[in-house]
Amino acid sequence: MAAGGSIFNAMLQEFDGAARLLGLDPGIWKILTNPKRQIAVSCPVQMDNGEIEVFTGYRVQYNITLGPAKGGIRYHPDVTLDEVTALAAWMTWKCAVAHVPFGGGKGGVICDPTRMSRRELEALTRRYIAEIIDAIGPDKDVPAPDVNTNDQIMAWVMDTYSMHVGHTSTAVVTGKPIEMGGSLGRREATGRGVMIVTREAAKYVGFDIKGATVAVQGFGNVGSVSADLLAGIGAKIVAVTDWKGGVYNAAGLDIARMLDFAKGHKTIDGFPGGEPIDNEQLFTMDVDVLVPAALENQITLENAPAIRAKVVAEGANGPTTPEAHRHLHERGIFVIPDILANAGGVSTSYFEWVQNRHGYFWEEEEVNRRLEAKMCEAFRDVLDTSVRYRTDMRTAAYIVAINRVATVTRMRGMYA
């Protein structure tokens, strides 16, 4: 974590290095390092026991130069305004890298959803959306699922907004159930994007993805889909960990069986297909690819020296601290940064929004074909920039993103 423990400061460190290389105008620099809007709301909810609890919620619209703000809503006890602001900034750069016409936003509510009933979660969601209703909309700010939120919660978001505006508005949110206008392929999109850029990185670094060994931290949506799709193109998933435990098998794990096990047990801890391991052991493994797909700040200066992977594909947001990233780069480890590696989710969210706006829906094959093209284009743009500026992929991704947002900021001019 950055100085002072601020995730936003960590984002600024990444931004500053790229902005210097780019020779960014000081005025534009100031604009792009300050969030446009930070909203904090109180959300009173009557709990099942009859008592009233007041939850704090945030929505940050970091930058909307390229289009409506875009970003998930997370429910977690450790949500802070600093974290939500950093995540909204990362969404700004992620959308710009993926070349989708969205700005960056993020939302969060301080709560423990594991201790709440379905009715309480619905009441909290509807109250939170009602509190930020003036700030969101298909042309303003389009939320999506994030940590501890899912398609059902997005359905409540859509319904609450629709009730307020007096008509069904499917395009206000992405990650909805298919039946309500969600896009085919959306659930797998972030993991599919991780698979695509990992495959492309393997070509560049110089090893065959078929038979390549992979370790995955996190077996939620991103980690499980990444593991499944990488196995599908011939990679050997040898280690996986989640919030409770982990499993290692040098011969390769049966990901299909592991998915079934995780569905029933809500964890992979105790999966019978290998030996038990923990996160600490996972990071030390001699593998070709490491996929951190859990939470922020998992790879630090403490454990980075033990990492032996050739490629680190960041499925999670901000899993590597700036100091740890510098260490990995100096050792020649090819890091695919989060704003590129996990941009498959926001790319397909964009496809969902487009389909909602047009009222015409694509087959899953069409969604995946478009995602393949977009992720390959983004990877090439960042890799070419990395070579041109003689810098690492994270700095290159920021250069691509900052340049796109700065160019449009200059074109639009200053409204006063």
Position 295 scores a pLDDT of 82
| Cα distances (angstroms) measured from residue 375 to each of 143, 179, 195, 344 | 22, 27, 10, 7
Position 72 scores a pLDDT of 95
Of the residues 106, 176, 310, 374, which is catalytic?
Answer: 106
What is the per-residue pLDDT across 99-117, written as a single tens digit (0 to 9) for each? 999 999 999 999 999 999 9
What is the per-residue pLDDT across 272-316, written as a single tens digit (0 to 9) for each? 989 999 989 999 999 999 999 998 889 999 999 999 999 999 999
In terms of phi and psi (left: phi > 0; alpha: psi -120 to 50; beta: otherwise), the region of 385 is alpha
| Contact (Cβ atoms closer than 8 angstroms) between residue 107 and residue 143 | yes
* Confidence tier at 396 by pLDDT (50, 70, 90): very high
* Confidence tier at 4 by pLDDT (50, 70, 90): very low
Question: What are the residues whose beta carbons fall under 8 Å from the beta carbon of 147, sequence distance 6 or more?
Answer: 72, 74, 75, 76, 295
pLDDT for residue 182 is more than 60: yes
Helix (H) or strand (E) holding 296: none
What is the per-residue pLDDT across 77-90, written as a single tens digit (0 to 9) for each? 999 999 999 999 99
Read off the tokens for 179: 């039946």
- 106 a catalytic residue: yes
**What are the chain's domains?**
34-94+101-182 (3.40.50.10860), 187-341 (3.40.50.720)
How many residues does this entry show for the chain? 416
* Confidence tier at 5 by pLDDT (50, 70, 90): low
Q: pTM for this structure? A: 0.92
Position 147 scores a pLDDT of 86
Position 1 scores a pLDDT of 36
**Mean pLDDT over each residue of the chain, to the nearest integer:** 95
Distance, in Å, from the CA atom of 276 to the CA atom of 119, rounded to the nearest integer, reads 37
340 beta partners: none
pLDDT for residue 2 is more than 50: no
Average pLDDT over residues 378-405: 97
What is the per-residue pLDDT across 188-242, written as a single tens digit (0 to 9) for each? 999 999 999 999 999 999 999 999 999 999 999 899 999 999 999 999 999 999 9
Position 391 scores a pLDDT of 95
* Confidence tier at 161 by pLDDT (50, 70, 90): very high
SS3 state of residue 23: coil
DSSP assignment of 397-413: HHHHHHHHHHHHHHHH-
pLDDT for residue 269 is more than 50: yes
First-to-last C-alpha distance (Å) of the chain: 37
* Confidence tier at 384 by pLDDT (50, 70, 90): very high
Position 6 scores a pLDDT of 84
Residue type, 357: R
